Amino acid sequence: MSGTPPRRALGIDLGDRRIGLALREDSAAPRGLPTMMRLATAAADSERLRTIAAEGRVTELVVGLPLHSDGSVGTQATATLRWASEVASALQLPITFVDERYSSQRAEESLGRAARGSNGGAPGPARREARRAAVDREAARLILEDALNPALLIDPKTLAVHVRESAT
């Protein structure tokens, strides 16, 4: 047995309202964690993620980067880079970015068709929210799987975007 501690990665699917999370040890299959609602700032999110990272003995963050379908960087990818840089700095953990184009679509396909409401109609608000959380969690799990594919890793230094600290 090697004396090297296991690599434990926290996969993050950052959304506007929720943060999908998953955990993977070395190359084992990732497992989803409870989805977290986003707070007002990356600093506030960092405090909650600090607890999750400590409990999971996380050694690195893996964040999905939502590039446009043509590979270009848009507003959401720029915001994700800024948020992730702030969180990684606060947690003092290395960060890896993964091309997450279509991860939510793949997560939807992986989970299968959404359940109907109890009356056979559209699901109610609670069921819709639970489905969205499940999709975010599955997307984070897929991001961790994709991180094992070197072709999907992204070096932010090669992107045509400048991430600046927000002026406060």
Q: Does residue 85 register a pLDDT over 60?
A: yes
Element (H, E) at 65: strand 60-65
Residue 36 bridge partners (DSSP): 19
Q: Does residue 162 register a pLDDT over 60?
A: no
Cα-atom radius of gyration of the chain, to the nearest Å? 16
Q: How far is CA 11 from CA 58, 69, 116, in A?
A: 10, 21, 29
pLDDT tens, residue by residue, 129-146: 777 888 888 899 999 999
Q: Does residue 167 register a pLDDT over 50?
A: no
* Top-confidence residue, 7 or 59: 59
For residue 3, the Cα-to-chain-centroid distance in whole angstroms is 29
Q: How far apart are the first and last CA of the chain?
A: 49
Element (H, E) at 143: helix 125-146
Angle at 156 between CA 69 and CA 40, to 5 degrees: 85
* Top-confidence residue, 53 or 160: 53
pTM value is 0.81
Cα separation, 8 vs 19, whole angstroms: 18
pLDDT tens, residue by residue, 26-53: 878 888 888 899 898 999 999 999 999 9
pLDDT tens, residue by residue, 95-112: 999 998 877 777 767 767
Cα separation, 76 vs 66, whole angstroms: 7
Could you give the angle at which helices 75-91 and 42-55 cross, rounded to 10 degrees? 50
Q: Does residue 19 register a pLDDT over 60?
A: yes
Cα separation, 18 vs 37, whole angstroms: 4
Residue 107: closest CA among 77, 72, 132: 132
pLDDT tens, residue by residue, 46-61: 999 999 999 999 999 9
What single string gives the DSSP state of each residue in 17-42? Answer: SEEEEEEEETTSPPEEEEEEE--SSH
